[in-house]
Amino acid sequence: MKLILGSASPRRRELLAQLGLTPAAIRAPDIDENPRKGEIPRDYVARIAREKIAALDCAADEVLLCADTTVSVGRRILGKPRDAAEAAEFLWALSGRRHHVLTAVAVRRGETVWERTVDTVVKFRPLSNEEVNGYLASGEWQGKAGGYAIQGLAGAFIPWLQGSFTGVVGLPLSETTTLLRAAGITAGTLSGHAEEQGTA
């Protein structure tokens, strides 16, 4: 079986590499990712992952992996900021508070789809003007749900989390391994067959 990554995210490719898996191909789905009116964050992220996997073709010898990550403060969804001003708004909303990072993973083989949504609670310490402005200047917020990357400079803002660190980065590895195994792809760290399974 060939593993197909339905995401252009370099972070998800890097996380798969931690499992010893290299996708045979990368296909980025083109869908409308805007939340529906009144949609709660958990329902939203699961819907987007399902729509991504439904939007891509999948051959008989392929296993397709898609994921979506969003940040929520209460019922408010913090997606990818449009500009630095919105990124600043997000950072101030997160400053000194706990929030949820939700990553939905969907795996498809033929007509069968396996799904899992992972919820991680993350705490930001109170941020200063200098820290927020410095982070905005770094540009690291661009293309990141909630306007930050835990694996980068923003790691210094986070004293505590409960859940999946890799889920916050963009792909919860433990849960993803379970879904891929159900679809016939075994992670290289568990099987020693990464090259064969991931790129055959």
Is the CB of residue 185 less than 8 Å from the CB of residue 197? Answer: yes
Output the pLDDT for position 197. Answer: 34
Output the pLDDT for position 198. Answer: 33
Is the CB of residue 67 less than 8 Å from the CB of residue 12? Answer: yes
CATH code for the domain of 139: 3.90.950.10
Is the CB of residue 130 less than 8 Å from the CB of residue 156? Answer: no
CA distance 135 to 86: 13
Sequence-distant (6+) residues with CB within 8 A of 55 are 29, 30, 31
Return phi, psi of residue 150, to 5°.
Answer: -65, -30
Residues with catalytic function: 68
Spell out a b/e string for 54-74, using b for 16 or more CB atoms within 10 Å of the CB, else e: eebebeeebbbbbbbbbbbbe
The residue segments making up the domain with residue 168 are 2-199
Question: Which DSSP state fits 151?
Answer: T
Measured CA angle at 150 (ends 173, 50), to 5 deg: 50
Q: Could you list the pLDDT tens digit for every one of the 200 residues in the chain?
A: 899 999 999 999 999 999 999 999 999 999 999 999 999 999 999 999 999 999 999 999 999 999 999 999 999 999 999 999 999 999 999 999 999 999 999 999 999 999 999 999 999 999 999 999 999 999 999 999 999 999 999 999 999 999 999 999 999 999 999 999 999 998 764 433 333 333 32
Q: How many angstroms separate the Cα of 171 from the Cα of each of 28, 86, 139, 156?
A: 16, 24, 22, 21
Output the pLDDT for position 159. Answer: 97
Question: Which DSSP state fits 74?
Answer: T
Total structural domains in the chain?
A: 1
Is the CB of residue 193 less than 8 Å from the CB of residue 20? Answer: no
Structure tokens given for 95: 């400053």
Output the pLDDT for position 194. Answer: 35
Output the pLDDT for position 193. Answer: 36
